[in-house]
A = this chain, B = another copy of it.
Amino acid sequence: MTEPHLLTASGALALMKDGTLTVESYVTSLLSRISARDHVVKAWAYLSPEHVLSEARKLDQIPPEKRGPLHGIAIGVKDVILTKDMPTAHNSPIYKGEPAPLVDAAPVIALRAAGALIFGKTTTTEFASTTDGGPSTNPHDPTRTPGGSSSGSGAAVGDFQVPIGLGTQTGGSTIRPGSFNGIYGFKPTWGAISREGLAQYSMTCDTLGLYARSVADLQLLAKVFQLQDDTPIPESLFKIEGSKIAFVRTSVWPKAGPGTQNAWSKAKELLSAKGASVEEIKLPEEFSKIKGWHAAVLAGEGRTSFLGNYLLAKDKMHTMLHGHVENHTKLSRKAQLEAYDGCAKLRPVWDEIAGKYDALFTPSVVDEAPVGIERTGDASFCSMWTILQCPALNVPGFSGENGLPVGLTLVGARYTDERVLYAAKAIGEVFEKEGGFVSKLV
């Protein structure tokens, strides 16, 4: 038998269903992987093996007919998401050492109700807001960042320590670690999953993100979260052959490094070779304003989001957050409102463009994960899709100049989450097989 920690969630579920794997032995395998790797990857902000084993034993006691769809599946939770049995420290000195808050964030309630095992808290940048990295490293090369702010969830899933991780995205905090760690990272439509119990930075952008090593696993989660398009398509109907696939460079394209450029042309080749009709498209000029609007919205919303902790303990906060509260950029509310209204106007325009294609790709990152863990990287390619509030999914499979993973982002119209997952499943298989990335982890 494959070592259980190497299984996807779907793989582990199948074995648990037919009785060949208990939750306890599954968890034991994950814990031994963590024990072997944690000194390198450092993905966990909080992890209690005793607690996790005790939860596993409880799950094993549940009779088969009462087990949930995620029975026993281990989930790493970014440490800005409330969990009733584990502390939430936001990587902030203000909350270091505080006890568990005794309350679960809404998505955690849903996952537990579905039988999932909340495994531990994964590292984040301070309040999921800065790009200051550490201590987590990239499992493919520990001299490099795993990305951020969902650093620990990205690294833990990439390193086979857990099959599923929760992140959040305000700029590119789910997509970027997805690309850097060579895994699927999915930011659903804004509002499609509750954000009650998540740290708040930007009401307009903050979205729960989901990590997995297979699209089937993301589909499992999507089912629990009831992500339903208006007109679901039977999965079998999505075929690359004959599909219309668009590649959207956006105005940020000049930032693309060789890894992303290579992924870009390789993806087009592969999809064309499989019979897709591939075209590069340009967005209307107005879309180039979105990057600036995104920054304005974050500055304006950060001004209120960080006020409480600023008043409580300013000296224990990153100076970037001081800047937000004190409005260092001298952003006017008028400019903030123009950013709101400008983005709102372009959302249906994007939806209409996206509706003309079966799948649309855009870059995930500048390039493979950069050397150094002090900085978590650049969100430039992601922020547009975050504030357009549309689904975005990092599909891995490509390789940078140093052999590290590079992905591309599948984007879609708002509330076409199921459609995006279907496309990612078919296309991801091709990219993983033929994209060129070779993992040294398995």
Contact = CB atoms under 8 A, between A and B. Distances in A.
A113 interface: yes
Interface stretch (A150-158, A166-174, A194-202, A244-252): A194-202
Interface stretch (A19-27, A48-56, A339-347, A398-406): A339-347
A305 B194 contact: yes
A311 B109 contact: yes
Contact of A333 (B229, B304, B347): B229
B307 A225 contact: yes
Interface string A87-102: 0100000000011111
A199 to B, nearest CB: 7
A82 interface: yes
A304 B193 contact: yes
B203 A107 contact: no
A195 B104 CA distance: 16
B334 A226 contact: no
A196 B197 CA distance: 7
A192 B307 CA distance: 11
Given A200-B195, A333-B415, A103 B106 contact: no
A58 B327 CA distance: 33
B351 A109 contact: no
A301 interface: yes
Contact of A308 (B102, B110, B305): B110
Interface residues of A, number: 59
Given A103-B82, A229-B333, A192 B415 contact: no
A201 B304 CA distance: 20
A307 B415 contact: no
B333 A230 contact: yes
Interface string A324-335: 010000001110
A334 B230 contact: yes
A348 interface: yes
Contact of A348 (B103, B225, B300, B337): B337
A200 to B, nearest CB: 4
Nearest to A95: B103
B191 A304 contact: yes
A415 B195 contact: no
A110 B200 contact: no
Contacts of A333: 228-230, 414-415
B200 A203 contact: no
A196 B199 contact: yes
A309 interface: yes
B347 A305 contact: no
A196 B305 contact: yes
B101 A194 contact: no
Contact of A200 (B102, B106, B325): B106
Contacts of A103: 82, 88, 101, 103
Contacts of A88: 103
A237 interface: no
Nearest to A297: B191
B203 A195 contact: yes
A137 interface: no
8 contacts: A88-B103, A106-B309, A112-B312, A114-B311, A196-B308, A203-B203, A230-B333, A337-B414
Return the 8 tightest CB-CB contacts between A and B, nearest first: A344-B344, A109-B308, A113-B311, A333-B415, A196-B200, A106-B308, A101-B103, A110-B308
Interface of A: 82, 88, 98-104, 106-110, 112-114, 190-196, 199-200, 203-204, 224-226, 228-230, 300-301, 303-305, 307-309, 311-312, 325, 332-334, 336-337, 340-341, 344-345, 347-348, 351, 414-415
Given A194-B200, A225-B307, A344-B345, 18 more contacts: A98-B102, A101-B101, A101-B103, A106-B200, A110-B307, A110-B311, A112-B312, A114-B311, A191-B300, A193-B304, A196-B200, A196-B305, A226-B304, A230-B333, A333-B414, A337-B347, A337-B415, A341-B348
